[in-house]
Chains A and B, each alone.
Chain A
Amino acid sequence: MTAFAGTGSSGAVGATDPAQVGASPATAPVLPTGPVPGAGTLLPVSRSHVRAAPALRVTGALAVLGVAATVWLGLFVTPDAVNFGNLVRLLYVHPPMAWVAFLAYGVAGLSSLLYLWPRTRDRRVDRLAGASAEAGVVFTGLTLVTGSIWGRPTWGVWWAWDPLLTTTALLFVLYLGYLALRRVPGDPETVAKRAAASLVAFLDVPIVYFSVTWWRSLHQPPTIDLAGRHLYVHGSMAWTLLLGFVSFTLVYVWLVGHRYRLARLRDEESSHGLELALAERRQEGAT
């Protein structure tokens, strides 16, 4: 039992979390995924617990560099576009954000399917689904905001009932519900099962897209018509756009990596807490 006793180098349970949150500032909403057993107990905290894996840290550094370079290229190096003026600079962030948002949902949906299938049921898959959905919500929110900023000068309105916009907005609400469901405390396996079942039902996203398309097409042509305004992406603009895609994808990998790590630590913490409590009871019985 001495292994669990706090020596100088081990930290209290509560002390590990702020350190990890500090390491990835964009993951501010900390979701309690389960009951925290014995807040006063001490856990063995090794160096590998506090610090992320080297690959994750390199990804983080590359992501920050990539976003910084996108900002510099997008704001200072690339020229104005013929029909869009300075507005075109949103192009370097908005499509990459939307791409990451849908990528995140794809990963979350696939992991949930794998979790529901008994032969691939694994805690790791569930953690990945949760981490990916969290990153997805952040990027969907950013997509909607940047899209609105684009829409106001381009179409004269902040919002249009366009299929893509409507689908994205519904997806945003759906995943807020999903994350709310994940936050409800309970037995980890039950929570995971419930979450996976609810996520699989989000197959309805394509149906939403097509039905909104038909719904709108009865009234007027689709609102977003980039092609109609002849936006040619070439030269430095194309490179900046490509860099935007790469760096936002890196940001996604980085965020998911950290949220995954945090979820794993929480699982370990709760199982250690259980072991600790069992050992204490045994000791009581022995004396």
Chain B
Amino acid sequence: MFRDAALVCGKDLRIEVRSRVTLNQVVPFAAVVVILFGLALGPDRKVLAPAAAGLFWVAVLLSAVLAVQRSFAVESADDAREGLRLSGLDPAGIFLGKVAAVLAELLVLEAVLTFAVALLYGAHLQQAGLLGASAILATIGLAAIGILYGAVSSGLRVRETLLPLLFLPIAAPVLLAATKSWDISLSGGDGGAGTWLTVLGVFAILYVAIGTLAFGPLLEDR
């Protein structure tokens, strides 16, 4: 299963390295969102800095929708989906591989976006360990739900509109917990971060498990 996951992840990342769609389109999109938030809230750093964590994660959420759509657009071209089914790879492995690829892409995006937020909103980057840990846990959860719902809506004519409707409300707890945890570290506070890391961790485990189990039925007979 993990060997299959590594194969699928490698394939997706190789496509990304060669096509650079995430790097050239999704990352700039996230930057646009961050700039638009700045315009909407005004230039006052007293307003922007406290809101930085929430705005950052909303931008990540919106970009995640695009990253997931890209991940399944790759499969729908040239009937690659049939090829994947006929390859005999374990469905759970395919799921984990695609999650890992989206996870890697989103983490790169978040790294870029973190500096954008620090620069534009004047957020103080402190407690890098907490920032990193919550970002990784949150992104695992986001990637897992994203791939699960990407599979649910893939192949449908209405997938572009359906995926955000299904994905974003489910991701609400991730937004909440990740924002809180980032708030704590950006403001230099200390207490309470453990709760949010637990929420993010439970969420990540739950959705990786559900996706691993449900991906098989979703992939078969289409």
Contact = CB atoms under 8 A, between A and B. Distances in A.
A200 B214 contact: yes
B202 interface: yes
A115 B195 CA distance: 34
B167 to A, nearest CB: 9
A190 B151 CA distance: 12
B173 A181 contact: no
Contacts of B192: 218
B56 interface: no
B169 A174 contact: yes
A198 interface: yes
Nearest to B191: A218
B176 A204 contact: no
A180 B160 CA distance: 13
B108 interface: no
Given A200-B210, A214-B195, A207 B162 contact: no
A65 interface: no
B169 A177 contact: yes
Contacts, number: 81
Contacts of A207: 173, 199, 202-203, 206
A228 B157 CA distance: 52
Given A203-B210, A207-B202, A197 B172 contact: no
B166 A198 contact: yes
A181 B156 CA distance: 10
Contact of A203 (B172, B195, B196, B206): B206
Given A174-B169, A194-B152, 10 more contacts: A116-B217, A173-B165, A189-B221, A201-B214, A204-B170, A204-B203, A207-B202, A208-B173, A211-B199, A218-B192
Interface of A: 116, 170, 173-174, 176-178, 180-181, 184, 186, 189-190, 193-194, 197-198, 200-204, 207-208, 210-212, 214-215, 218
